């Protein structure tokens, strides 16, 4: 009997996530009380994040009128994520509840400090630099620990639902935050408004003090991870190369962030003017909110229908759709078409990111899950600062429409090549494993 034909169905496939039953119930993670509480708390915290940006950015602009300071705000928000592998290693070895509580405490401390400086009219540029940096650090500390908590709360069966709904909840926070921040700024003023924002972080902090989940409860019997090495990111990447799907998700997240990332948002005023929005108003606000609105809509549709499963092809094709929508937006001349394309881009981006995060978690060994999630976060968040070059700086030379279009087109080409190469590597891995059993 041919060895491959005879035992192929029993060969372990190390290239794809192990087959595990997936809960196909609609909004499965919300039926889990612990997941529901976490997702709600995270949504409120992300709302607080956005509210703080609205108020602090407004005061900084009014007081300093500094484009350089505004640029630093973007850089400081994402650069700390470049160290996510170390925060992931910390999450591997520690109680993730306490790590997330520390991040929440940093958020609250930053809001309180802003409030004191506003109240005493003593804000200086160096204060802004420090507070913006601490805020970015808090987000980077939180990210890997959050993914471990989701895995612990939901288990493998509900993990795809938990990741999608958590991403949807975060997008809801980002969507509602600017509106709430504007109202608080108008009604309460910057000092009282930023103090009030502290309460947005309290529900998550209090719930974490009451839950029994630590991020490791389901993996309690697993081996204790080794201490983090100075070049941990390189070591983790070297180990991940043996799993083509895993390394392709890291590459996909990094390339998407570097080429497009968050680069479109700071350029939205110019896009709005080119679309006929000659002054700030509802039309401009809708353009700013369209991506987040699309992400929320996409998350609800995916959970309602279960159209998409967490697979390599889904992650890649969703990214292709995202780049296609942004390519169309770059050259759109009709406001309605542009708005629809941004909503579509938000839906596709949520599907891509949620699928990639799920695959990374499913494929990562329990003892190194935090490190691997940290490497993915390092790529998908930390490299967002690069989109300021590919869209912003390049846009200053060739125009933002062309810079966005070329970035989107380049991403689409890279994704097609990455999908083709990964599928070939997966097929080769299966043949190699089969030959070992021959």
pLDDT number for residue 10: 33
Hey, what are 227's tokens? 């201490």
Task: Provide the whole-model pTM.
Answer: 0.80
pLDDT number for residue 203: 96
Q: What are the residues whose beta carbons fall under 8 Å from the beta carbon of 43, sequence distance 6 or more?
A: 169, 170, 172, 173
Mean pLDDT of 266-294: 77
Tell me whether residue 80 is in a domain. yes
For residue 375, what is the domain's CATH number? 1.20.1250.20
Considering the domain architecture, whether residues 81 and 152 belong to the same structural domain is answered as: yes
Mean pLDDT for all residues in the chain: 84
Considering the domain architecture, whether residues 242 and 196 belong to the same structural domain is answered as: no
Considering the domain architecture, whether residues 286 and 264 belong to the same structural domain is answered as: yes
Hey, what are 83's tokens? 């160290």
Considering the domain architecture, whether residues 328 and 278 belong to the same structural domain is answered as: yes
Mean pLDDT of 163-186: 86
% of residues, the chain, pLDDT over 70? 86
Tell me whether residue 197 is in a domain. yes
Tell me whether residue 359 is in a domain. yes
pLDDT in tens, 286-321: 787 888 889 899 988 888 887 888 899 999 999 999
The least confident of 53-67, 139-153, 221-235, 353-367 is: 221-235
Tell me whether residue 354 is in a domain. yes
Considering the domain architecture, whether residues 198 and 311 belong to the same structural domain is answered as: no
Considering the domain architecture, whether residues 347 and 292 belong to the same structural domain is answered as: yes
Considering the domain architecture, whether residues 258 and 400 belong to the same structural domain is answered as: yes
Tell me whether residue 3 is in a domain. no
Number of domains the chain is built from: 2
**What one-character-per-residue DSSP string does 303-319 give?**
HHH----S-HHHHHHHH
Tell me whether residue 15 is in a domain. no
Q: What are the residues whose beta carbons fall under 8 Å from the beta carbon of 237, sequence distance 6 or more?
A: 247, 250, 375
| Domain span holding position 275 | 230-438
Considering the domain architecture, whether residues 372 and 249 belong to the same structural domain is answered as: yes
Determine the straight-line distance between the first and last CA of the chain, rounded to whole angstroms.
Answer: 10
pLDDT number for residue 18: 42
Closest CA to 320 of 248, 392, 256: 256
**Of 221, 255, 275, which closes a domain?**
221
Residue 367, CA distances (Å) to 88, 93, 166, 220 in order: 11, 9, 23, 10
Tell me whether residue 9 is in a domain. no
Helix, strand, or coil (residue 347): helix
Please tell me the distance from the alpha carbon of residue 7 to that of residue 1, in angstroms, as a whole number.
10
Long-range pairs for 217-222: beta carbons < 8 A, 24 or more residues apart: 217/152, 218/151, 218/152, 218/155, 219/152, 219/366, 219/367, 219/369, 222/366, 222/367
pLDDT in tens, 188-205: 999 999 999 999 999 999
Mean pLDDT of 218-233: 62
pLDDT in tens, 394-406: 877 888 899 899 9
Statement: residue 5 has pLDDT above 80:
no
Q: What is the dihedral of CA 57, 60, 65, 66, to 10 degrees?
A: -80
Considering the domain architecture, whether residues 301 and 341 belong to the same structural domain is answered as: yes
Tell me whether residue 2 is in a domain. no
**Of 221, 244, 268, which closes a domain?**
221
Considering the domain architecture, whether residues 245 and 381 belong to the same structural domain is answered as: yes
**Of 179, 196, 221, which closes a domain?**
221
Considering the domain architecture, whether residues 215 and 240 belong to the same structural domain is answered as: no
% of residues, the chain, pLDDT over 90? 43
Considering the domain architecture, whether residues 298 and 256 belong to the same structural domain is answered as: yes
Q: At what angle are helices 96-119 and 125-187 packed, to 10 degrees?
A: 80
The least confident of 18-32, 130-144, 299-313, 355-369 is: 18-32
Categorize the per-residue pLDDT at 9 as very low, low, confident or very high, splitting at 50, 70 and 90: very low
The DSSP output letter for 122 is -
Closest CA to 98 of 192, 170, 205: 205
């Amino acid at each position: 009997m041919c060895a491959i034909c005879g035992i192929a169905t029993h060969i372990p496939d190390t290239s794809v996530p192990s087959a595990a039953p997936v809960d196909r119930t609609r909004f499965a993670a919300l039926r889990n009380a612990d997941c529901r509480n976490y997702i709600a708390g995270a949504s409120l915290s992300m709302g607080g994040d956005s509210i703080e940006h609205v108020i602090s950015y407004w005061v900084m602009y009014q007081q300093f009128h500094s484009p350089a300071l505004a640029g630093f705000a973007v850089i400081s928000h994402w650069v700390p994520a470049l160290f996510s592998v170390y925060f992931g290693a910390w999450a591997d070895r520690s109680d993730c509840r306490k790590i997330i509580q520390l991040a929440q405490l940093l958020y609250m401390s930053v809001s309180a400090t802003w409030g004191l400086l506003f109240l005493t009219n003593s804000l200086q540029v160096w204060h802004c630099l420090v507070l913006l940096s601490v805020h970015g650090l808090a987000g980077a500390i939180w990210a890997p620990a959050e993914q471990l908590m989701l895995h612990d709360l939901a288990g493998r069966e509900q993990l795809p639902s938990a990741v999608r709904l958590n991403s949807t909840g975060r997008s809801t926070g980002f969507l509602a935050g600017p509106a709430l921040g504007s109202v608080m700024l108008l009604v309460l003023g910057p000092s009282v408004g930023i103090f009030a924002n502290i309460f947005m972080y309290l529900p998550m902090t209090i719930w974490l003090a009451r839950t029994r989940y630590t991020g490791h409860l389901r993996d309690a019997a697993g081996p204790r991870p080794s201490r983090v090495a100075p070049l941990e990111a390189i070591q983790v990447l070297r180990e991940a190369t043996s799993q083509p799907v895993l390394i392709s998700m890291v590459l996909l997240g990094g390339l998407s962030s570097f080429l497009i990332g968050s680069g479109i948002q700071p350029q939205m005023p110019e896009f709005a003017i080119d679309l006929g929005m000659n002054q700030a108003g509802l039309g401009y606000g809708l353009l700013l909110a369209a991506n987040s609105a699309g992400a929320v809509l996409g998350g609800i549709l995916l959970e309602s229908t279960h159209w998409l499963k967490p697979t390599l092809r889904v992650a890649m094709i969703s990214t292709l759709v995202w780049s296609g929508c942004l390519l169309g937006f770059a050259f759109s001349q009709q406001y309605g078409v542009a708005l629809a394309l941004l909503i579509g881009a938000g839906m596709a981006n949520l599907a891509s990111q949620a699928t990639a995060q799920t695959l990374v978690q499913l494929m990562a060994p329990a003892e190194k899950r935090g490190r691997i999630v940290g490497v993915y976060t390092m790529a998908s968040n930390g490299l967002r600062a690069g989109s300021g070059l590919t869209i912003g700086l390049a846009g200053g030379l060739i125009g933002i429409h062309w810079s966005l279009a070329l970035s989107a087109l380049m991403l689409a080409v890279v994704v097609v090549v990455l999908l083709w190469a990964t599928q070939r590597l997966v097929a080769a891995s299966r043949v190699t494993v089969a030959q070992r059993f021959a």
